[in-house]
Amino acid sequence: MTLEKIEVTSAVAQVKNYLHNLQNRICSCLEMEDGKAKFVEDLWEHHEGGGGRTCFLDSGQLFEKAGVNFSHVYGKRLPQAATAKRPELADCHFQALGVSLVIHPLNPYVPTSHANVRFIVAEKPGADPIWWFGGGFDMTPYYGFAEDCQHWHKTAKTACDPFGADVYSRYKKWCDQYFYLKHRNEPRGIGGLFFDDLNEGGFEHCFALMRSVGDHYLEAYQPIVAKRKQHPFGERERDFQCYRRGRYVEFNLLYDRGTMFGLQSGGRTESILMSLPPMVAWKYNWHPEPASEEAKLYSDFLVQKEWI
């Protein structure tokens, strides 16, 4: 599946326009939910061309740290993280556009969420451009609520259903496989959607699917935030949240393809590692007390299962 050379500029412009708009909508909504903190914008340039807009908020009433990053970078060679399984792309120059966000709430009863939508075009002289979309969203609770997980996954399914009856179940499974900490035998969270290398069905179809995923992120997350943000918490819950955030760091630095792609392609380190939580604690060989609320997270939520 290829795009004609002539269409690259137009395709990139369309995707860029959508992504800018998505970034603005997400930031406005999160600011509204927080009620106090405002996003600060940083514009930056990539050393091989392109750049991005990083929107960052911290010390909110509700959000301890939230980063919503738009980037559009050019590179002379696709980084290893992108070509490990596709050596034919190794000598392509590329453009990568995406919005990537990670939200770390202060209140341990509000889950952390992550979303990403991206478009990549690889080109080399004498060959048609190769392009693909990727994206998804996933949620990482500290204290689980089955109804929240159901809402999250139902919204994910709604995003996918117009594109095929099996799309949700395929991307849900992919998400479970991707956000998995092998060294812990533990899922990172309760999943959601993950897809990559999407170009089947043509540009319009794939772009629409990516938009649907992008658009449904707030529909999935905002009601959960609104419902849980007043939940009282104390030091115990906060300690558990800081401990669990360690898993987030382990995943992002040991496994995450986006993080590796970014760091290997000489991306802006501060924007890439903006995903890391604000306060994290590692404790040696810690285990929750049996039958506690913390133990329930492991037994009832950090298991791969069908939520709907």
- Active site amino acids: 114
Residue 92 DSSP SS3 = coil
Considering only 279, 295, 303, 308, the residue that binds a copy of itself (CB under 8 A) is 279
Which residue type is seen at 109? Y
CB of 71 to a copy of itself, least distance (A): 15
Q: Does 184 bind a copy of itself (CB under 8 A)?
A: yes
Alpha carbon separation from 151 to 61, 77, 225, 227 (Å, rounded): 24, 41, 12, 12
Which is closer to a copy of itself, CB of 9 or CB of 185?
185
Residue 213 CA to residue 135 CA, distance in Å, equals 8
CB of 101 to a copy of itself, least distance (A): 13
Q: What Rg value do the Cα atoms of the chain yield, rounded?
A: 19
Residue 287 burial (CB count, 10 A): 9
Q: Provide φ and ψ at 2, rounded to 5°.
A: -130, 160
From the list 53-61, 77-85, 105-113, 164-172, the region that binds a copy of itself by CB under 8 A is: 53-61
Q: Which residues pair with 134 in a beta bridge?
A: 118
CB of 178 to a copy of itself, least distance (A): 17
Residue 124 DSSP SS3 = coil
Considering only 87, 126, 166, 183, the residue that binds a copy of itself (CB under 8 A) is 183
Residue 42 CA to residue 55 CA, distance in Å, equals 6
Q: Does 56 bind a copy of itself (CB under 8 A)?
A: yes
Q: Per-residue string for binding with a copy of itself, 200-239, x by CB under 8 A? A: ----------------------------------------
Q: Does 280 bind a copy of itself (CB under 8 A)?
A: yes
Residue 23 CA to residue 175 CA, distance in Å, equals 22
Which is closer to a copy of itself, CB of 57 or CB of 220?
57
Residue 221 CA to residue 252 CA, distance in Å, equals 21
Considering only 19, 26, 73, 274, the residue that binds a copy of itself (CB under 8 A) is 274
Q: Does 81 bind a copy of itself (CB under 8 A)?
A: no
DSSP 47: T
Q: Which residues sit at the interface with a copy of itself, rule CB under 8 A?
A: 42, 54, 56, 58, 65, 67, 182-184, 242, 246, 249-250, 253-254, 263, 269-270, 272-274, 276-285
